[in-house]
Amino acid sequence: MTAATIAPTVTSVRLPATGELALETHIVRSRVARIGLAVLRLATGFIFLWAFLDKTFGFGYSTLPAASWINGGHPSQGFLLHGVTGPLKPFFTAIASPTSDVLFMVGMLAIGLAVMLGIGLRISAVVGTVILLLMYLAEWSFGANAASTNPLVDYHIIYALALIVVALVSAGDTWGFGLAWKRLPLVQRLPWLV
């Protein structure tokens, strides 16, 4: 076996601001691991996309049809006004508005699509992590009466970590449009869009 068989040469995308940008094959050598990360990326992206779809159309999973966004429901306001627990409740109640509905829904759609497509993973990881941490704090899982079974690590934290991992390893290159995205002139000028 030659070195080229074990670790085939892969060209990288040239970014003026940072030199060469490592591709997923530079970071994760195992094809099976790259496929596993692609599946993690697709599943995580679908969590966000599904939240958008269910809250928009009311499929009955977490949002009933009568409470859907297209039927006049308020996707973030309902939770912010009635579902928040803990000492931060006054803060979350104060930000409940039609604007919070739009921002939340745009965030869910943009993060879901970007992560599933494998593009803009860095910004999706940052924005998604902020939204998830806010939701984590809104549900306040600290204390004996908390709904969570673990006061420190719940699904919000796991989802945020998944977003961060898929961004760090460029998981959009496998089964996604990450490579094509990195070649776009705009992305090469603004590497934070990777």
Q: What is the pLDDT of residue 31?
A: 95
Find the Cα–Cα–Cα–Cα dihedral 168, 169, 173, 174, rounded to 10°. Answer: -130
Q: What is the pTM of this model?
A: 0.86
- Percentage of the chain lying above the pLDDT 90 cut: 74
Q: For 65-105, how does the pLDDT look when each residue is reduced to its tens digit (9 = 90+)? A: 999 999 999 999 999 999 998 899 999 999 999 999 999 99
**pLDDT per residue over 120-139, tens digit each?**
999 999 999 999 999 999 98
Let me know if 160 is exposed, middle or buried by CB neighbors in 10 A (0-12, 13-18, 19+): buried
Q: What are phi and psi of 13, to 5 degrees?
A: -90, 130
Q: What is the mean pLDDT of residues 153-174?
A: 96
Average pLDDT, the chain: 88
* d(C-alpha 91, C-alpha 83), whole Å: 13
91 Rama class: left (phi>0) / alpha (psi -120 to 50) / beta: alpha
Alpha-carbon distances, residue 141 vs 55, 81, 114 (angstroms): 24, 18, 29
Residue 112 has pLDDT above 80, yes or no: yes
d(CA 9, CA 34): 16
Supply the pLDDT for residue 19.
55
Q: Which two tokens stand for residue 43?
A: 């599943």
